[in-house]
Amino acid sequence: MLKGSLAVEKSISIAVSYTGKDTFADGTLLTCPQTAIPPNVMVPGDVDPAQLYSIVMIDASRSMFTLADQFTYVHYWIANIPGSKVDAGTILEEYMRPAPHDFVQHKYEYCISSKGRSIRLSRIDSSRTGKRSQALTTLAAQ
């Protein structure tokens, strides 16, 4: 591989449902009430059961508010998912339903990535929700 080149692994599909029944296609317009409850996230494809994965839901949309333009907002983060067993993963960031504060449509993205090792966690108080939540501290030793 050339220095500075990007290695691309095979694509992994995920399916997301807010109703518990039907998944939706990329680009589907959903309302805030439709996304009020945490989604059911599935990895239906052929994945390595010995591999650990993370799934993140982000709002990468630009906001009309100056400070918000500087950040990608993490709405949901599940880590240490063994293979396709999403329910066996660890929630690092509790689900925060979409609620655009600038009254424009936002694009929410789900991303999946593989990790060679487990993410070690510690509990801290979340200033965003006031609840105790998981936070990333360090990667486990090799």
Q: How many other C-beta atoms can be found within 10 angstroms of the C-beta atom of residue 98? A: 16
Which amino acid type is present at position 82?
A: P
pLDDT value of residue 87? 94
Q: What structural domains does the chain harbor?
A: 43-133 (3.90.280.10)
CA dist 140 and 119 (Å) reads 6
Average per-residue pLDDT for the chain? 73
CA dist 31 and 96 (Å) reads 14
25 torsion bin: left (phi>0), alpha (psi -120 to 50), beta (else): beta
Whether the CB-CB separation of 110 and 86 falls below 8 Å is answered with no
- The pLDDT tens digits for 29-50 are 888 888 888 999 998 877 888 8
pLDDT value of residue 120? 65
Q: How many other C-beta atoms can be found within 10 angstroms of the C-beta atom of residue 15? A: 15
In this prediction, residues 18-29 reach a mean pLDDT of 76
Q: Pick from 35-39, 122-126, 133-137 the range whose average pLDDT is largest.
A: 35-39
In this prediction, residues 68-85 reach a mean pLDDT of 82
CA 58 to chain centre: 6
In this prediction, residues 55-71 reach a mean pLDDT of 68
CA dist 55 and 92 (Å) reads 10
Task: Render the burial of 50-72: b for 16+ CB within 10 Å, e for the rest.
Answer: eebbbbbbbbebebeeeeeeeee
pLDDT value of residue 79? 92
